[in-house]
Homo-oligomer: A and B are copies of this chain.
Amino acid sequence: MLLSTKGDYGVRAMIDLAKHEGEGPVQRAEIARRRQIPESYLDHLLAQLRRAGFVRSVRGPGGGHLLAKPAEDICLLHLLEALEGSLAPLQCLDGAETGAEAICGQEWVWQEIYDNMRNKLSSVSLAALVDHEREHERSVTINYSI
């Protein structure tokens, strides 16, 4: 599995923040409830997202979390890389050349797949994910907003 629930949870949380953009800070407990993420685990993910510059937070009553930049300027690739580390399918495509590339014998196959993946993920912004979710809500009964 390329993505663990860490990446999944992190993206869900970011979608939640993006969806409430402009409504003031969103509390961790609210995100956890709406997106079905264990709150204490979400704590770690938000810390990671904050350190990576995607989220800023406000302490104290009425505090919570906010996007650190517009949802249009955050793409899925950068978000997932911040949460999961490199998405390279193979060690030898990792960028950090380890010297093991010559033996592998498959890297020419995977390079193309990796490029395709990165292109696709770069082209999808957080805003697009929110749009997609809103689109989906109109045809399905279940939704995650209050």
Contacts and interface: CB of A to CB of B under 8 A. Distances in A.
A26 interface: no
Nearest to A94: B1
B105 A15 contact: yes
B3 A89 contact: yes
B90 A105 contact: no
Contacts of A104: 8, 12
20 contacts: A1-B88, A1-B89, A1-B90, A1-B94, A2-B2, A2-B89, A5-B91, A8-B104, A11-B105, A12-B103, A35-B103, A36-B103, A102-B142, A103-B144, A105-B133, A106-B129, A108-B132, A109-B120, A113-B120, A116-B116
Which 5 pairs show the lowest CB-CB distances between chains A and B?
A: A2-B89, A2-B2, A113-B117, A116-B116, A3-B90
A67 to B, nearest CB: 16
Interface string A113-140: 1001100110010000100110000001
Interface of A: 1-3, 5, 8, 11-12, 15, 35-36, 76, 86, 88-91, 94, 102-106, 108-109, 112-113, 116-117, 120-121, 124, 129, 132-133, 140, 142, 144
Contacts of A36: 103
Nearest to A136: B105
A56 B115 CA distance: 36
